[in-house]
Structure 1
Amino acid sequence: MAKPGGAGGERDVALLDGTARAHVSKGETLSDWHARYDRWLSAQIRRRFSSQSGEDITQETWLRMAALDSFDAIRHPKAFLLRVASNLALGQVRRGAVAERFAAVTPTVSHEDADQLETVFFRQMVLDLPQPLRDVFLLSRVGGLTNSQIADQLGISPKTVEWRMTRALARCAAQVRR
């Protein structure tokens, strides 16, 4: 339920029960969001995770948010921030599980050998991606390009870049889970 907004594209959003409101403004920056939601996000993450991993997750959440081009399309900021944080926490758990399985199979491997094996594993995982997915993945993750830049470089739409990146990440996640 949205009330007609104020100046500058601002609007108040009420939840169905009418009790909670989120203030959303067009053209907000990462600094605006950080000022508004950092204390809240830190408290939510501390409640859900250990203090050390919670601090890491909070920092990583803001780093992920910094990669976004715009915040205008995000209608529920708190839900979005919690989803990013939850996904990061899940990734930590999965990486920990992979590390445990790896350690159980190769308990005498040195750190250098483990790093080398991990590098070979991830390199092979990327090489196993179909060429269109691999191109998008490498331009994004290695090249550091935005979806728009990748779309321009490959001559495809940003939506196609998004779709291919989603598929590439899903395939990589499936490989890690094996």
Structure 2
Amino acid sequence: MNRLYRQYAPWLSRRLRSRIGPDDAADVVQETYIRAAPYALADIRHPKAFLLRIAMNLLRDERRRQSRQPQQNEAEAPPQGEAATQFDELLLSQVIHSMPPLYRNVFVLNRFGGMTYPEIARTLEISVQTVQWRMARAIEYCASRLDL
């Protein structure tokens, strides 16, 4: 995990600073690596996506925690990261729509349809190995477009 931290902590910190500021970003990066520690490094196929997902889950959990607390001032501005989250969702949607259909079908069925690789293979009448290959290409496509 130490190698993973040295390699990706600066990148993750930059990604988070634009959403939550430098002080909070440093805390979230540290918490992200604490949460990632139990995972075997060999099992992590896409480290940037893995770390970013943990960090986004931490931010979402904190937002939920804050929403449960009584509001001091009802006239406050929306949470700082809300607009950035909406922008990211829009950007991801655009990337998925621009993806070649060959990859997009597998990606959407797995990530949004909740289907397993064998289920996708049966549905599309292709091999599981082909599903794996197409999914890898879809993830690479997304990562290249989203600067992951």
Place the TM-score, normalised by the shorter chain, in its bin: 0.5 to 0.7
Matched, 1:115 2:85: yes
Task: Give CA-to-partner distance per residue, 1:38-91, whole Å, 9 cap, x none.
Answer: xxxxxxx368647633321135x3xxxxxxxxxxxxxxxxxxx32334843x44
Runs (5+) with no aligned partner, structure 2: 6-28, 56-78
Q: Structure 1 residue 176: deviation in Å? A: 1.5
**Kept in 2: contact 1:57–1:85 (CA 8 A):** no
Alpha-carbon separation, structure 1, partners of 2:31 and 2:102: 38
Q: Which has the higher contact order (CA 8 A, sep 6+)?
A: 2
Partner SS state of residue 144, structure 1: coil
- Name the CA shift for 1:127/1:159 in 2 (closer, same or farther; >3 Å): same
Q: 1:113 to 1:159 in 2, by over 3 A?
A: same
Question: Which residue of the other structure, out of 108, 115, 120, is the alignment partner of 1:145?
Answer: 115
Compared with structure 1, are the counterparts of its residues 54 and 156 closer, same or farther at alpha carbon in structure 2 (3 Å cutoff)? same
Matched with 1:84 is 43
Query: Which letter does structure 2 place at the counterpart of 1:162?
Result: Q
- Judged with a 3 Å threshold, the aligned counterparts in structure 2 of structure 1 residues 112 and 47 are, in CA distance, closer, same or farther, namely closer
Aligned twin of 1:6: none
Label 1:131 to 1:177 Cα distance change in 2 as closer, same or farther (>3 A). Answer: same
Structure 1 segment 8-87 matched on structure 2, within 5 A? 45=1, 49=5, 52-58=31-37, 61=39, 81-85=40-44, 87=46
Between the aligned partners of 2:118 and 2:147, the Cα distance in structure 1 is 30
Distance 1:132 1:86 in 2: 21
Name the SS for the 2:115 alignment partner. Answer: coil
Structure 2 distance, partners of 1:130, 1:48, is: 31
For residues 87 and 166 of structure 1, do their structure 2 counterparts lie closer, same or farther at Cα, with a shift above 3 Å needed?
Answer: closer
TM-score by length of 1: 0.47
* Structure of higher CA gyration radius: 1
CA distance 1:157–1:132, shift in 2 (3 Å):
same
Unpaired segments of 5 or more residues in structure 1?
Answer: 1-44, 62-80, 97-108
Give the paired residue count.
Answer: 101
Partners of 2:146 and 2:92 in 1: CA distance: 9
RMSD: 3.2
Question: Equivalent residue for 1:11?
Answer: none
Between the aligned partners of 1:51 and 1:144, the Cα distance in structure 2 is 30
Select the structure that is richer in strand: 1
The offset of 1:158, in angstroms, is 0.8
Larger helix proportion of the pair: 2
